[in-house]
Amino acid sequence: MNPTPPTTPGNGVATLMAEIERIAQELRAYNKRPLPATEDQVQALVQLAERDRPLTLNVNSEAVAAQLVGKVEQQAKVFQDTGYQLITSLDERQKALTSALDERLAALKAAAGVRRSALRLAPSCWCCLPCSLPVISRGCQKPI
């Protein structure tokens, strides 16, 4: 008796449930058979089961290991390259920000120098040039 394989459901839970149901049907079918009397009959049952779904799997472990090592090396190289790109990008960004900050600092220093020289040349009171009282004190009594 070869049970028909279940239809392929769309999700993993449904697939698992269908597989469990298929195994249950096979167990029910095996339970209805008489027990094998000889070793040859047991081997025949094993061969019958292996025909539909192999019970053993022969894998070249060296080839699998080589593939895995190759994948790990490839992923490590990609990670390393991405890290280098990130570091380079951050360094370039830091240099750009530092140069912009230096330019702004130079502009502020120049503006402060211009302001100091303007204060030295400015009269104490705008209403008249000979007044010696500072504008902040508002001590100038002359009418405007």
Q: What is the pLDDT of residue 124?
A: 53
CA–CA gap between residue 117 and residue 10 (Å, rounded):
82
Q: What is the pLDDT of residue 143?
A: 53
Whether residue 33 is contained in a domain is answered as yes
Whether residue 40 is contained in a domain is answered as yes
Find the domain containing 4 and state its range: 1-60
Count of the separate structural domains present in the chain = 2
Tell whether the model's pLDDT for residue 132 goes beyond 60. no
Q: What are phi and psi of 19, to 5 degrees?
A: -65, -40
The stretch 114-126 carries a mean pLDDT of: 65
Residues 3, 22 contacting (CB under 8 angstroms): yes
Q: What are phi and psi of 112, to 5 degrees?
A: -65, -40
Q: Name which residue leads in pLDDT, 7 or 85.
A: 85
Whether residue 84 is contained in a domain is answered as no
Q: What is the pLDDT of residue 119?
A: 67
- On whether both 1 and 47 belong to a single domain, the answer is yes
Helices (H) then strands (E): counts for the chain: 3, 0
Q: Name which residue leads in pLDDT, 123 or 38.
A: 38
Contacts of 105 (CB under 8 A, 6+ apart): none
Residues 142, 127 contacting (CB under 8 angstroms): yes
Q: What is the pLDDT of residue 36?
A: 55
For residue 91, what are its two tokens? 């360094």
Q: Name which residue leads in pLDDT, 126 or 101.
A: 101
- On whether both 55 and 103 belong to a single domain, the answer is no
Handedness of CA 102, 103, 104, 105 (dihedral sign): positive
CA–CA gap between residue 92 and residue 99 (Å, rounded):
11
Whether residue 85 is contained in a domain is answered as no
Whether residue 21 is contained in a domain is answered as yes
Whether residue 70 is contained in a domain is answered as no
